Structure 1
Amino acid sequence: MAAACLVAPRWATAQVDIEHAGAALLAARALRFPVDGIRPETVRDTFDDGRPDHRHEALDIMAPRGTPVRAVDDGKLVKLFDSKPGGLTVYQFDPASQLAYYYAHLDRYAEGLHEGMQLRRGDLIGYVGTTGNAAPNAPHLHFAVFLLGPEKQWWKGQALNPYNALRAAR
């Protein structure tokens, strides 16, 4: 009997390359931890946790309702959005528009926050809450990072696990 040759399909190899490139971009950014008063080492990696019909692809950072949420990086605020799953959300691009940072379940936005503004690392963007599909008794920031495609669409991209970048955040 001939030995089977196990070769990954070309699309699978390309996917791994994209994930590695995105992880390298994320690792190169000196992120600020997004939630005031929470120590990075206390955050659990929830990226691969299951959700109904999908993988979580984000970190849930538990904190008291109303805790300030800050921009993790410099960059442009590209979208403020109120959605059924995410509630009050902020989409921010990094300075090179290669990464999108997604902040969700906010209780409210910071005063004066608007689309198109330039954010600086550490700027106040909102407050921890339970809007959207978050459990009302579990306030948290749902934080995600996406590698953007050439179209630079704020609503889609390759999900990147921000756990290591946030654990290293200052």
Structure 2
Amino acid sequence: MTRFGRLFLGLLILVVIAFASMLRWQQAEEAPAPASAPPPPAPMASAGPLTVPVAGVQPEQLADTFRDPRTGHVHGAIDIMAPRGTPVVAAMPGTVEKLFESAEGGTTAYLRSPDGRWVAYYAHLDGYAPGLREGLYVQKGAPVGQVGFTGNASAEGPHLHFALKRMEPGEAWHEGRAVNPYPLLRGVR
């Protein structure tokens, strides 16, 4: 074999090896996660334990209303009873993603965790904390608003409707999968 032939053969072998190594790398990267892969961490993994989002309410005072029936659906949240005007605070740090008025929830706020995997939903607020605005980053315990009975809540039972949603990448503030916040607020894993 000529010198040129050996050089060409060597280059060809290097190209084949490089191509084969790229194929193996892509296959490994695209392989599905094993069925026993752990679920994404709970909000407390990145933000510390959740804070009860109504000032003065202790974890042992909470009631688990997550699976309670509502007209046409399951509640999917917990109601934290408190007098109208009681401060509502951020249960975890996050960015105010949406401030919204709706017939059901009344005056509402949606806060997304720093890692984007969680949205906390605060509904039936009497009003927002001064300076609260979309895009604002708040620390855990920062004021969000006040307990009220806006939307479809009864004036006889002012409360905070508090929901927590696990988010997939790219999901909007109103999407996600409801996760029961009760055990997380009670510190039970």
Q: Under a length normalisation based on structure 1, what TM-score does the superposition of the two structures give? A: 0.84
3-state DSSP class of the match of 1:69?
strand
After TM superposition, what 4+ stretches of structure 1 lie above 6 angstroms from structure 2?
none
Q: Tell me: higher relative CO, structure 1 or 2? Use CA pairs within 8 A at least 6 residues apart.
A: 1
CA displacement 1:109-154 (0-9 Å, x = unmatched): 0111100000111100100000000011100000000011222310
Following TM superposition, by how much is the alpha carbon of 1:38 offset from its aligned partner in structure 2, in angstroms?
1.0
Please give the per-residue CA displacement for 1:87-126, whole angstroms capped at 9, x wherever unaligned: 0000000110100000000001011110000011110010
Helix, strand or coil: the match of 1:127? strand
Letter in 2 for 1:106: L
Structure ID, larger Rg: 2
Q: Please give the alpha-carbon distance, in whole angstroms, between the structure 1 residues aligned to 2:73 and 2:115.
A: 29
What's 1:105 paired with? 124
Structure 1 residue identity aligned to 2:60: E
Secondary structure of residue in 2 paired with 1:21: coil
Equivalent-residue separation in structure 2 for 1:153 and 1:98 (angstroms): 11
1:9 matched to which residue of 2? none
Q: Offset of 1:27 from its aligned partner?
A: 4.8
More helix by percentage: 2
The answer on whether the counterparts of 1:70 and 1:122 sit within 8 Å (CA) in structure 2 is: yes
Alignment partner of 1:80 out of 99, 107, 131: 99
Aligned alpha-carbon RMSD (Å): 1.6
Q: What is the TM-score of this pair, normalised by structure 2? A: 0.76
Q: 1:94 aligns with which of 113, 123, 126?
A: 113
DSSP 3-state at the match of 2:52: coil
CA contact (8 A) 2:166 2:179 kept: yes
CA contact (8 A) 2:93 2:137 kept: yes
Gaps of 5+ in 2: 1-35
- 1:21 Cα shift? 2.6
Establish whether residue 70 from structure 1 lines up as the match of residue 89 from structure 2. Answer: yes
State, as a whole percentage, how many aligned pairs show the same letter.
47
1:40 corresponds to which of 50, 56, 59: 59
Q: Distance in 2 between matches of 1:45 and 1:113?
A: 28
